[in-house]
Amino acid sequence: MVLIQNLIRGDVADINPTIVALFNLMGVYPLIFACLLFSDGHGQKVPAWLFVTLSMGVGAFALLPYFALRSPNPKFIGPKNWWIKLTDSRITGLIIATAAIGLLIYGFKYGDWADFIDQWESNRFIHVMTLDFIMLSLLFPWILTDDMKRRGLDPNSFLYFLIASVPLLGPAVYLVLRPNIVVSES
């Protein structure tokens, strides 16, 4: 509990930077999902915002029910509300990608990987947080196909493979480079 409290308060002077980076990335990854799921949820029977909001606290565990309940949604039938405009924005994508890359650099440059592995083996929170990161990385390709279709991109292209196969960085770069949603009339 002390570790979690210190991470939340930002009292990280004595915490391995790899753990600090991973903890903060667990806040960035749900933002990446928000940028895809808010437009996906626009055409769903269940509201995506609820699951995305919960994922900020409990990660992939909150998104799993949404993925189980959602239907394929390759078209966006407008209009875009301000949330969707915000999450569709390249500026939002750039901010999220910059945060992700900055945290990765911090964790890799200053982190102690031997200590991280020791803590991963002995600390349940670090273990679960790492598995949650992996689960979010595995869930992303599932939603990417429909998002690419909503933007007029081919999900059978090499671009899909590239984005889907590079955890965190692929999705972060995708947010910056993707075209805006194509609004369908029906």
Q: What burial class does residue 181 get, using C-beta atoms within 10 Å of its C-beta: 0-12 exposed, 13-18 middle, 19+ buried?
A: buried
Query: Using CA atoms, how far apart are residues 37 and 49, in angstroms rounded to an integer?
Result: 8
Q: With 70 as the cut, is the pLDDT of residue 114 above it?
A: yes
Residue 118 structural domain: 2-184
pLDDT in tens, 86-113: 999 999 999 999 999 999 999 999 999 9
Query: Using CA atoms, how far apart are residues 16 and 5, in angstroms rounded to an integer?
Result: 15
Which residues share a beta bridge with 76? 183
The contacts of residue 184 (CB under 8 Å, 6+ apart) are 75, 76, 77, 78
Query: Using CA atoms, how far apart are residues 81 and 110, in angstroms rounded to an integer?
Result: 41
CA 18, distance to chain mean position in Å, is 18
Q: How many domains in the chain?
A: 1
pLDDT in tens, 38-55: 999 987 999 899 999 999
3-state helix, strand, coil in the chain (%, to 5): 75, 0, 25
- How does residue 186 score in pLDDT terms, banded at 50, 70 and 90? low
What predicted TM-score, i.e. pTM, was given to this entire model?
Answer: 0.92
